[in-house]
Amino acid sequence: MRVMVKIKRFNPGRDREPYWAEYEVDVEPVDRVLDALEYVKWHLDGTLAFRRSCAHGICGSDAMLINGRNRLACKVLVKELGARITVEPLRGFPVIKDLVVDMEGFFAKYRAIKPYLIHDEPPPETEWRQSPEERARFDDTTKCILCAACTTSCPSFWANGAYIGPAAIVNAHRFIFDSRDRGAAERLAVLNTGLGVWRCRTIFNCVEACPRGIDVTRAIAEVKRALLFSSL
């Protein structure tokens, strides 16, 4: 199967403006977009840069804008896309080169919500007990691989890059609703601002973008409700 891969390229060391480059690639229908990119890299143009590692949707390296939607390149098969594939870097982050974006700001927001269990009491000899129901309460948000597909698909984030973004909220949710955690108050305080959860306008692009199938908007809604009910 012959496909045309159109890649938005930019090398700040050399180019003044981003530009589109087109490559013709022979692929198997069951190949991933990542395979197509690697084909370009290995056989057509060695200067192309992108991130990838696990190649099966677990490490979160290769989120990018593929045919108008944020996807992991290693999790979309080319047969889903047809003969023209357009690839751009994630929106809203500075581009380092080609498809590689600067994620430092993204991780800073992740760190801001204190993404670690907060529990001051000394732990027991064995495990802290947690019922399967309590465990299920936050299961969905434990799956996050911090790929940033959600945050960079969110129009609210494009409009204002200072928005903490769905990924950070998802990770806050993971702890706020963990029965072992005692730090909910601190995290909720971080999220209770105009740049926190309240900037989410329930647009749902995040949910569609999430390669882990996390119901991001639901997590955000639960955090909003937690804040609302503790305020009432």
Q: Which residues bind ligand F3S (CB under 6 A)?
A: 154, 156, 166, 200-206, 216-217, 220
Burial class (CB in 10 A: 0-12, 13-18, 19+), 167: buried
DSSP letter at 176 equals: H
Applying CB under 6 A, which of residues 103, 113, 154, 170 lies at the interface with ligand SF4? Answer: 170
DSSP states of 90-133 as a string?
A: PTTS-EEETTEE--HHHHHHHHHT--S----SPPPSSPPP--HH
For residue 204, how many C-alpha atoms fall within 13 Å in the half-sphere facing its CB? 0
- The partner in contact with residue 166, picked from ligand FES, other proteins, ligand F3S, none with C-beta cut-offs of 5 to 8 angstroms by kind, is ligand F3S
Q: Take residue 132 and report the two structure tokens written for it.
A: 């399967």
Measured from the Cβ of residue 228, the count of other Cβ atoms closer than 10 Å reads 9
DSSP states of 74-90 as a string?
A: GG-BGGGT-SEEEEEPP
Q: For residue 54, state whether it binds ligand FES (rule: CB under 6 A).
A: yes
**Which stretch in 49-57, 132-140, 152-160, 189-197 sits in contact with ligand FES by CB under 6 A?**
49-57
**Which stretch in 38-46, 47-55, 104-112, 179-187 sits in contact with ligand FES by CB under 6 A?**
47-55
Closest separation in Å from C-beta 169 to ligand F3S: 7
Residues 40-99 touching ligand SF4, rule: CB under 6 A, are: none
Residues that bind ligand SF4 (CB under 6 A): 144-150, 166-167, 170, 209-210, 212, 214, 216
Residues that bind ligand FES (CB under 6 A): 52-55, 57-62, 72, 74
